[in-house]
Amino acid sequence: MIGGFLGAGKTTAILRLAEYLDRKGRRVGLIMNDQSVGLVDTTMAATRGFPVEEITGGCFCCRFDSLVDATCHLTEKVAPQVFIAEPVGSCTDVRASVSYPLQRMYGDAFVVAPLSVLVDPIRALRVLGVESGASFSGKVHYLYHKQLEEAAILVINKCDVVEPARIAMLRSALEREFPHARIFEVSARSGQGLDEWFEAIVPAIECDGQRADADMEIDYAIYGEGEALLGWLNASVRLDGGPFDGNAWLRDMAARLQLRLDERGIEIAHLKVTLSPGDNGGLAVLNQVRNEHRAELSHELIGLLPGADLLVNLRAEGDPDHLLAATRGALDDAASAAGIRHHIRHVEHFRPGQPTPTYRLSPA
Ligand SMILES: Nc1nc2c(ncn2[C@@H]2O[C@H](COP(=O)(O)OP(=O)(O)O)[C@@H](O)[C@H]2O)c(=O)[nH]1
Ligand SMILES: [Mg+2]
């Protein structure tokens, strides 16, 4: 499992690890996880040609049997030698509720690698109190700390965009607070540092697996309240009446959405949007991981589109009704500014429920 908070770069890193293992001749199967259906991450993984299963409607810990089922489905299809799984970014305590139960109950079938947890350096510098800036409330910070505390390996990602001096400050803060963890500095985007990190996990998968570390104390009431402060919205929308420039439209829609969220004081954890004209016409992907972070288009479309399918995954600290109102408003305004029509086919907005793991085991 490659864990970490929303927007830390898990999906990007997982696809890199899958490519690394593929180059080494290992068959890989990916398992994506989210609270609801219609996942940008699954679309991204499938576009890269890797076999992928998606577990929705709850995190791995609360849908443990679905996780085991997903490995069976992948085994029937491609018999992977390595499974790479992305837990929901608002989830923690995955060692006790996923790694140990897997090892204990299915130890003949699986060796579980040490848990790696990624951090976005700018987000982590704020949550750890090293730098000031907009962040989340206390209970979300509690959940974030627990994610780092249970990691055997902490991976400072996005080193390509943050000055080395700030990365050094973050490393010292992490070493102070989490002395048991190994720390790597990488860029999942540029590839910097990835091989060193991958070389630390892959032999562990093949030889000894996960070391049993000390049990982590966690207050599920605070964790659950922290997770429920994060609103979730997944929408699937049809756009018609073009021609229109899909890349420009995505940027405009995201800017309008961010303004509406700003007005309500809602902090974005991760906004992911894909736009697909269909018929293998490519995919545009937009990501934003903080309010003041400019939305990035990591994949662009070529030419004008007559119509397209839009997928919006928004996770932000705020009332889900406000997320829905802001998303509807941004879609209305962006569509009329471009002279196109939009139709919301499916939308879900909610707060994650109290996490209740299927199993919870201590390392002993
Ligand atoms: N600059 C930079 N951006 C990155 C890096 N890794 C991921 N990102 C971006 O961070 C955003 C969130 O990445 P994603 O992999 O979806 O995060 P996840 O929510 O943890 O799965 C996307 O815009 C990525 O392109 C990196 O190493 N450097
Ligand atoms: Mg992801």
Mutate to test the pocket of ligand 1, among 6, 10, 12, 15 (most ligand atoms within 8 A of CB): 12
- pLDDT, block means (10 residues), the chain with 364 residues: 96 95 94 77 82 87 91 95 94 93 89 95 96 91 97 97 98 97 97 96 65 79 95 96 96 97 95 89 91 89 94 96 98 98 96 89 74
H-helix or E-strand containing 231? strand 230-240
Residue type for position 187: S
pLDDT of residue 59: 85
pLDDT of residue 279: 78
pLDDT of residue 90: 93
pLDDT of residue 245: 97
Burial annotation 9-32 (CB, 10 A radius, 16+ → b, else e): bbbbbbbbbbbbbeeeeeebbbbb
| 199 exposure class (CB count in 10 Å sphere: 0-12, 13-18, 19+) | exposed
Question: Which atom of ligand 1 is least distant from the CA of 157?
Answer: 27
Residue pair 10/157 in contact by the 8 Å Cβ criterion: no
Q: Is 294 in the pocket of ligand 1 (CB under 6 A)?
A: no
Q: How far, in Å, from the CA of 86 to the mean position of ligand 2? A: 7
- In order, the DSSP letters of 15-79 are HHHHHHHHHTT--EEEEEE-SSS--HHHHHHHHTT--EEEE-SS-TTTTHHHHHHHHHHHHHHH-
